[in-house]
Structure 1
């Protein structure tokens, strides 16, 4: 048994001094308060948006079953769906059951209050919908599953110790930020509420910030993980969240759900092999193991006043961090996936490659060279009766736009192409593609994405439309969505160039 104690870095004297004392009597060794040096707020706070039910119905494909996602830690009847808004941004849409928030005013006030929080450690709330009996929340979509999935149900490789330390620190920073904004209460804090963004950085779901309603209880029915004061009073306090944070530290250490009472028993019996994930063998020092265990048990004190605050948790965990410069996606073992994506980009057509790099000059040269050859199947040629002076004037407007486009006078090109489009007698995806690039050249990415999408509506199988969407999304800073658009364009191009019959 002594070998297990040594591996954890807990000598017999330390064991009796700091681990075997009772929960209620354990000495609280507060870490010094230090300022969180990481940037915690976004300077330009996005506007909290009130969506219509129709917008969210369309975004989720009429709340299709295939769009239900479990990675946001929600269970029926309050279901979370993956959705895509009109600007192509992926979102998570939580739809409450009809009795969860009977008071529409309360729901709107609470949603707006949570929407005022915005931090890079949160899966932030972007908006809500309150129409009739419908109550929905819209948040940033996190594509890389939950901590529970990576910690308890991993398929390829277990989470490395440096990444587990990073998860603990980032979550402590999230709690510190929320506390500083007067939102110290978090409901049912657990591994299912921790999500991973496109870079595999851990984020805390904003859904748990909403005050308790008929949505359910503050904690799950598993009493083994419930703060003792909640069992006594049925009320959650800020210190209850710290207790739950302690159970999460045990999760990170063990790689499984171990109730605090059982963890105390394992410590008393010196059964560290059961307490510690066997996959972590040799990944941390004796001193770090000792400190991590002690920190967990400080959070799990029976008396709420004896638990540390969020700021001291950040200070203690910051001192344990390893491999700080290594990106999270690499620590999570997703480096090969990123490389494969890069290789796929390298095999794109010249236009796809130019759009992936947002090389606007190269895009211009290619569009100019292609001309209108892709319009043959989509352009509505005017009938003999439509050949009027007005029609001729419309065609002349397009020619003027082409001339301006050729000579890189993009403001004039936008004006001429807009006149052509507004007449509406001829539909040309190429005109939309050219105006899209003109908008990008004029630093108007939102107008550009609208034109790229319109070109795809006119010609759904046209790779150019998808590629231009990728460039526009990149200009909007939406890299993940841009990669998806590139993949769509590549697939369309492959299908288009495939030999007949394949």
Structure 2
């Protein structure tokens, strides 16, 4: 696409942001090109979380053979498999640390000194946004890198080939931000070049936080010229110069933003055509419906289009990318493993739909489940109420409940809180479902402590009702009390299983 067309796309996206009122997040003054010099290290990303890592060191080939059981096929973790020129293995060192070991083919690094210099330079980086390089091996024709092992696979796996649940919009935004912060840190340390940035280069750690693989910071061929074999995703300037530049990395970042929005690996030219035709719906993953506003999507698309500018000088730098993405973040208090539906230090939790919705803090799904459940678990409370309708006070109380139910069904949660409070305050009738619905309504209005109080009261009324425990869990997650929330999820799962058995 020509520069003029790109300018038209950017102009349209700017106009779509309500006369620029939202553009303060992504103002044009923020987009300074890399040619203005290296950016400073972000205040957001510290190195404290990476400070406990050992210093970069040399490993022997025997140590790495032992760690990988002789480079056994079953220890291969790279998507490209056994026949790929450069294979990544999972290994366990003598000190019991799990590591990822990348073994290059013998022609990749004929100059051992160049390999050691490159590895040592990358090995000095230490940052929680990176899967950091711990060491290397250079013996005979062997060239290997040793890095932190990330147990929860790659972005490509979770985005394109998910099995249990699609990645939530809040998590996709977090991936984009953490990646921008990783690039900002590397740039500040003089390592602005990253080779073939793509969804396979982003991996997830024990806490399911996304990290940028350090392997891409190394040149991966004799002259550092290799890039994506798919020309549709290659930066335009690379096709003419054959060289990777800092601006080339930003172009690849733009393709990743498109991946995150669409849930597919769409060629930039095709995506830009959709943007130019204002057909953002076709560009958006259908699994994301209802998870963001049209303004947020437009801002995200505009940011991607800036990264994909034909002229490299018009692309933003990592610092401005991070600044823009911070303002777009959602559910910032939710841990990554909760958003991903992954148990900390474990596998995907075997939960029911309700338990899964709570652990992901998917309040929309919880609302749907509670609405469909109605008052089936009130253990005869509704029948008991019918005997008292002859008094005016009881009639008013029932009317308050009915109006609360209507508001709850139509997602008018503030109104629902008011009517349910009227019903509860009378004190003549008790309904665990009303408390549960008011608890969720409090959560929908960003009132987690009030939601927790109602969830606890729900359990007091109905001690074995699993929904009470699940609502406590999601309230505790919202309050940042993660360990207590995990316990509540397990207890809710046990109660739910017992109910189904009986």
TM-score by length of 1: 0.61
Structure 2: which 5+ residue stretches go unaligned? 1-8, 18-25, 33-39, 352-502
1:172 matched to which residue of 2?
180
How far has the Cα of 1:77 moved from its partner?
1.6
Determine if contact 2:88/2:103 at 8 Å carries over to the other structure.
Answer: yes
Mapped pair 1:77 → 2:76: no
| Matching residue within 102, 108, 112 for 2:116 | 108
Query: Does the alignment pair 1:320 with 2:337?
Result: no
Shift of 1:261: 0.7
**Does structure 2 retain, via aligned residues, the 8 Å contact 1:71–1:145?**
no
Is the contact made by 1:30 and 1:308 (CA closer than 8 Å) also made in structure 2? Answer: no
If the length of structure 2 is used for normalisation, what is the TM-score?
0.61
| Candidates 278, 281, 292, aligned match of 1:284 | 292
Distance 2:344 2:222 in 1: 44
1:332 to 333, 340, 345: 340
Greater Cα radius of gyration, structure 1 or 2: 1
Residue aligned with 1:82, SS = strand
| CA displacement 1:354-411 (0-9 Å, x = unmatched) | xxxxxxxxxxxxxxxxxxxxxxxxxxxxxxxxxxxxxxxxxxxxxxxxxxxxxxxxxx
1:466-496 CA deviation, whole Å, 9 max, x = no partner? xxxxxxxxxxxxxxxxxxxxxxxxxxxxxxx
**How far has the Cα of 1:334 moved from its partner?**
1.7
Query: Taking structure 1 as reference, are residues 231 and 322 closer, same or farther at Cα in structure 2, changes over 3 Å only?
Result: same
SS in structure 2 at match of 1:189: coil
* 1:152 to 2:199 alignment: no
In the alignment, which residue of structure 2 is the partner of 1:96? 104
Residue 36 (1) aligns with residue 35 (2): no
Partner secondary structure for residue 334 of structure 1: coil
1:315: Cα distance to partner?
0.3
1:32: Cα distance to partner? 7.6
Deviation track 1:147-171 (CA, whole Å, cap 9, x = no partner) reads 0000001111100000000000000
Deviations 1:18-45 (A, max 9, x none): 79xxxxxxx9824389973324224566
Alignment of 1:479-494 (within 5 A): none
Report the Cα distance in structure 1 between the residues aligned to 2:120 and 2:224, rounded to whole angstroms: 20
2:138 aligned to which of 109, 114, 130: 130
Alignment of 1:66 onto 2:65: no
Distance 1:253 1:12 in 2: 17
Q: Distance in 2 between matches of 1:338 and 1:63?
A: 25
Deviation at 1:237, TM superposition (A): 0.5
Residues of 1 paired with 2:139 and 2:312: CA distance? 40
Question: What is the alpha-carbon distance in structure 2 between the residues aligned to residue 73 and residue 200 of structure 1?
Answer: 23
| Count of residue correspondences | 326
2:333 is paired with a residue whose SS is coil
User: Structure 1 residues 74 and 220, CA, compared in 2 at 3 Å: closer, same or farther?
Assistant: farther
Question: For residue 256 of structure 1, what is the aligned residue in structure 2?
Answer: 264
1:187 maps to 2:195: yes
Match of 1:297 among 305, 308, 312: 305
Shift in Å, 1:266: 1.0
Question: Structure 1 residues 114, 35: CA separation in 2 closer, same or farther (over 3 Å shift)?
Answer: closer
SS at match of 1:40: coil
> Is the CA contact 1:254–1:275 (under 8 Å) kept in the aligned structure 2?
yes
Cα distance change on mapping 1:28 and 1:141 into 2, 3 Å: same
- The structural deviation recorded for 1:13 is 8.9
Distance in 2, Cα, partners of 1:48 & 1:332:
31
CA distance in 2, matches of 1:166, 1:84: 30
- Equivalence for 1:445: none
Query: Counterparts of 1:232-247 in structure 2 under 5 Å?
Result: 232-247=240-255
Q: Decide whether the 8 Å contact of 2:16 with 2:298 is kept in 1.
A: no
- Shift in Å at residue 78 of structure 1? 1.0
Q: Give yes or no for contact 1:28–1:298 (8 Å, CA) kept in 2.
A: no
Q: 1:306 aligns with which of 282, 304, 314?
A: 314
How far did 1:214 drift? 3.1
Structure 1, residues 404-439: CA drift from partner, whole Å, max 9, x if none?
xxxxxxxxxxxxxxxxxxxxxxxxxxxxxxxxxxxx
| SS state at 2:90 partner | strand
> Could you say which residue in structure 1 is the equivalent of 2:60?
52
Unaligned runs of 5+ in 1: 1-10, 20-26, 344-502
Tell me how far 1:220 sits from its aligned partner.
1.4
* Aligned mates of 2:259, 2:296 — CA distance in 1: 16
Q: Secondary structure at the match of 1:92?
A: strand
Q: 2:215 is matched with which residue: 191, 207, 210?
A: 207
**Counterpart Cα distance in 2 of 1:187 and 1:104:** 20
Secondary structure, counterpart of 1:204 in structure 2 = strand
Shift in CA distance, 35/238, structure 1 to aligned 2, threshold 3 Å: closer
